[in-house]
Amino acid sequence: MACVAMTLVLSGCAFTPEERAARAAHRAAPTAVVMNSPDAAANQPQHIKSPDGYPTFAGPLTAANVQMSDEQAANQQQQLSALTSARQAGTITEAEYQKRVEEMRKLAAEHGPDALSQISR
C-alpha cells in the first residue's frame, strides 16, 4: 500500500518533455537586440574581436536610438528653469504651474510609445 501511495505521489511531480521545454524556455535569458547606427559604415563588422578571439569594446559603440542633442537638453533646461523662476517670482499662478507640469508629465508618458512606434517602422 505504501509503495502504491509513493508511486502516485512521485508521478504527480513528473513533467512531460513539453512542460520541461516550456519551463526551460521561460527561464532562459532574453536575447539581445542590437540597433545599428545610421552613421555606421556598412562594411564594419558588427562584433569586433581581439587577436586572441575575445570580444573587445575598442570599436565605436552605438546607441539604441538617436540621443538628445546638447542643444535640446539646454533648451529644455532653460524652459524648466524659466518655469521655476516664474513660479517663485509669483508671475504665474499655482494652477498655471500645475497645468504646465501636467503637460510635461503627459508628454513624458506618451513619448515612450511614440518613439517605439517610430523605431519599429
Provide the β-strand partners of residue 55: 49
Scan for cell 540597433, then name that residue: 35
Confidence of residue 107 (pLDDT cuts 50, 70, 90): confident
φ/ψ (deg, to 5) at 51: -55, -30
The amino acid at 65 = N
Q: Encode pLDDT of 80-92 as tens digits.
A: 899 889 989 989 8
pLDDT attached to residue 119: 76
Q: Encode pLDDT of 24-41 as tens digits.
A: 877 777 776 666 655 555
67 close to 53: Cβ distance less than 8 angstroms: no
> pTM of the predicted model, to two decimals?
0.39
Mean pLDDT score of the chain, rounded to an integer?
Answer: 76
